[in-house]
Amino acid sequence: MDDTAPIRPDERFDERRVATYLHEHLPELVGDAPIEFAQFPGGAANLTYLAKAGDTEIVLRRAPHGELAKGGHDMEREYRVLSRLWRRFPKAPRAYHYCPDADVMGKPFFVMERRHGYVIRERWPDEFGDSSQLRRKVAGELVETLAELHSVDPVDVDLETLGRPEGFVGRQVRGWLGRWEAAKTRDVPAMTRAAALLESDLPEPQATVILHNDFKLDNTMFSGSGDLVAVFDWDMATRGDPLVDVGTLLAYWADPQAPTYPIFGERAVALAPYMDRDEVKTLYADATGFDLSSIRYYEGLAYYRIAVIIEQIYARYVRGQTADERFARFEPLAPILAEAALAVLS
């Protein structure tokens, strides 16, 4: 299975310079063999490339071009997590090296191990056929992997100083409310009401765990038999309340019967027909022992956050910062997500 493509013209880099850097800093991995580069075309944020030296394949990750939002695309954070987490959580690919020098590749980057499998996005891989049993296994693996991550003691992987877990949810709420005020192109009453509910009833965390902070189906990789073999995109990882990750997973759990399906259904296959949200919560709670009685708050926060992200993209179109007509269709999405947030919070 070839999951790479030629590098997009606007995302190229000085291949000779990067190859020289890899030969100098990672001789134990690449030796002195010539290095060829390709790009992993999936995803829409950080840029990911394949470097092939003889029979050895490694992966390079760097932030996208242009000015970056604060707190996102943090390659140093992602390297820090992946250089340690693999010891207790093998589904995290191991990171080998971090390059802080932006002159080498255009932005700081890190090098990590290559994994093979299927990243499931808009449709099920042809190799999966139409097996309901296999698709249910994928859904279960996703939930069980999140529970496995949350069982890792940060001290055991030298990540006990990652992030600031105290007051984490409160900071998240305040941050996303502020981003909405900066991005909104119109008043959305449901966003105002949802914000009031989020601010008025902050839950107390029952544990501090390592959070992926964007855990969803298309940030993972599966084998052809439905086993989860890798979790990607750790640039927002931190320590905090485990239910933040669960809320995010539930918000992205595509369901053809849900009002948000027109949003997520275009970007991810539907999992709800094979495992519904109640089963997700039961499976996670049984695996971790955590109390999910307040999970609706976290799911509402996730919907609110996704609404803000989509409105930020739509605002760029409205304000003439991009001429990409694809973004015109984002206009109705934030209100739909706001209503979803309000429904679960109420």
| Mean pLDDT, residues 332-343 taken together | 94
Strand, coil or helix: 102:
helix
Q: Confirm whether 9-113 and 126-345 share one CATH topology.
A: no
Domain 9-113: which topology? Phosphorylase Kinase; domain 1 (3.30.200)
Q: Is the CB of residue 297 less than 8 Å from the CB of residue 345?
A: yes
CA angle, residues 9, 99, 109, in degrees to nearest 5: 40
SS3 (DSSP) at 191 = helix
Q: Classify each residue of 335-344 as buried b or exposed e, where b means 16 or more C-beta atoms within 10 Å of its C-beta.
A: bbbbbbbbeb
Spans of all domains in the chain: 9-113, 126-345
Q: Residue 76: its pLDDT value, please?
A: 95
CATH of 126-345, one of 3.20.20.150, 3.40.50.300, 3.90.1200.10, 3.40.50.10210: 3.90.1200.10
Regarding pTM above 0.75, the answer is yes
pLDDT digits (tens, 9 = 90+) for 312-327: 888 878 888 666 677 7
- Cα atoms in the 13 Å half-sphere on the side-chain side of 229: 15
Each residue of 255-309: pLDDT tens digit?
998 888 877 766 779 999 999 999 999 999 999 999 999 999 999 999 999 999 8
Q: What average pLDDT does range 117-128 have in this prediction?
A: 92
- 46 close to 63: Cβ distance less than 8 angstroms: yes
pLDDT confidence tier of residue 113, bands split at 50, 70 and 90:
very high
At 49 the pLDDT is: 96
What angle is formed at CA 60 by the lines to CA 58 and CA 65, rounded to 5 degrees?
165
pLDDT at residue 313, rounded to an integer: 80
pLDDT tens for 150-181 read 999 999 999 999 999 999 999 999 999 999 99
Closest CA relative to residue 216, chosen from 202, 236, 197: 236
Instruction: Decide if 327 contacts 313 (C-beta within 8 A).
Output: yes
